[in-house]
Structure 1
């Protein structure tokens, strides 16, 4: 198959902007890894003036292929924020067919080592999603929408599972529960209790609310380290607007309110009131007082 595709990628390999080319073949009849194509060609380029990512589809000998040309900047954004998880798996499992100055080899090693700085960012991203999803599940339960609460609780456990995998130094894959089963049996057991219990849905969700509340509280400071470290870089308090626009925090900006509210509720960060022009109206600011 690689021989048939060579004319497609050979021209790219001779381009100075091309950093590396990976080939990912379908291994099962239904393969989410390759978006059900028989083969994926991932071409990483240094720059692309037209667009940072473009895709072409091909047919040959009753086979199908998808060609993805993506800039290094966008690929790293996908990897660092898990905004396109498939790309991470392509890099990890892909066969290297072109590697300029060992760029792909270095990238694969970076994914294997998962540096702590990138790990802290990923933990904060998943923690924000977890806190928001759990809060929604709890609210749905309290308003007697038990099936919707159950659905949100499944999502909450999924975010918790991804967080558990990241904590152990691995990138979460699409088959995250297979990873968690061996990496964090405690979290896997929560999933089994929710999905396989003989209790009715209302009771299962009720028990899970208590269990996950405890799990989140014990992991909160560690999971929010990226935010706490950023806030601790200067003396004094932060307005929410300052946090929202901080370049280090943009990757989880949509979930920042949920994180900040939770940390304030648990006294991991402190709040202070600042007078405004309105009588009796104060601006709320946030402060890291304990930099453990």
Structure 2
């Protein structure tokens, strides 16, 4: 199989812009990791007109997908789990070209999974968890039970990813297989939601209560990345300052609801600062001691 693909990637490997090439072959008949393609050909480049270019091939009775990804976009995917499949490709794929050991060093970094990267990933997933959980509660209160059920499933997926990250691992596409091994309590929540014979209203009500505890117990660990940023100075932060901080950019869209949750849990406190308007104050935030 690799011999058939070699002319394709050798052409790319000869270009000075190419940093590395790896081949990933699917392990199962219907593989979500490869979108059911037989082979993934990942080519990392330093610069390109398109930050992500994809081309599909077929040969004999096989199919292949070639992904040409710019280095900066790949880094973004890794830091935020923006395209989770690529982690599996990088860790388990076969490196067939490696300029200055670029892919080897990247693979080693992924396996080490530095604490700062893990904190960022947890905060991204935890912020999404808070948003979907709140939206689920709102839909439940409005008696939209089927829509609330869909959001409950999604929020449990975010909870599962947080649980896996807490163990120092990268969440895989098959995240529930990981959770079953490393966090049986979170897996039990998902199992109960999927297998419950209760009517939707009762099922979601019970899951909201159980999920609330699971989320609350992880609040400080989940938001650790944001809390550490806020501890960089002894003075309160305005929301605008936090929003433009370069290290919060990966969860900016969920930053407001995450802050409100931390305020409600009394992990973060607010300070009212006078404005020119009478009885109107700026709201600022600081980590509670």
Superposition TM-score, scaled by structure 2 size: 0.96
CA distance in 2, matches of 1:12, 1:80: 26
**1:247-272 deviations in whole A, cap 9, x for unaligned?**
10010011111110000111101101
Distance 1:60 1:156 in 2: 40
- Partner Cα separation in structure 2 for residue 255 and residue 32 of structure 1: 27
1:43 and 2:43 equivalent? yes
Report the counterpart of residue 69 of structure 1 in structure 2: 68
Decide which moves more: 53-62 or 256-265: 53-62
Alignment of 1:115-154 (within 5 A): 115-154=114-153
Classify the secondary structure of the residue corresponding to 2:16.
coil
Report the CA distance between 1:144 and its aligned residue: 1.4
Write the mapping of 1:107-122 to structure 2, written as runs, cut at 5 A: 107-122=106-121
Q: Within 1, Cα distance between the matches of 2:66 and 2:221?
A: 39
Aligned to 1:254: 253
Q: In angstroms, what is the RMSD of aligned CA positions?
A: 1.3
- SS where residue 58 of structure 1 aligns? strand
Q: Secondary structure at the match of 2:33?
A: helix
Q: Give me the whole-angstrom Cα distance separating, in 2, the residues matched to 1:68 and 1:194.
A: 36
Q: What is the rounded CA distance, in whole Å, between the counterparts of 1:214 and 1:32 in structure 2?
A: 31
Gaps of 5+ in 1: none
Q: After superposition, give the CA deviation of every residue in 1:32-89 in whole Å (9 maximum; x if it has no partner).
A: 22222221110112222x2222122223223322211112211011010111112112
Following superposition of structure 1 onto structure 2, how do residues 219-230 of structure 1 map, counting pairs within 5 Å? 219-230=218-229
- Please tell me whether residue 15 in structure 1 is matched to residue 15 in structure 2: yes
Q: Which residue pairs with 1:106 in the alignment?
A: 105
Residue in 1 that maps onto 2:164: 165
Asked whether the equivalents of residues 266 and 288 of structure 2 are also in contact (C-alpha less than 8 Å), the reply is no
Q: For 1:94 and 1:259, how far apart are their aligned partners in 2? A: 36
Structure 2: 5+ residue runs without aligned partners? none
Count of equivalent residues:
289
Cα distance in 1, alignment partners of residues 190 and 55 from structure 2: 39
TM-score when normalising by structure 1: 0.95
Distance 1:206 1:51 in 2: 46
Deviation at 1:198, TM superposition (A): 2.5
Q: How does 1:51-62 map to 2 (within 5 A)?
A: 51-62=50-61
Shift of 1:226: 0.4
122-131 vs 59-68, which moves further = 59-68
| 1:188 alignment counterpart | 187
Indicate the residue corresponding to 1:5 in structure 2. Answer: 5
Distance 1:156 1:56 in 2: 33
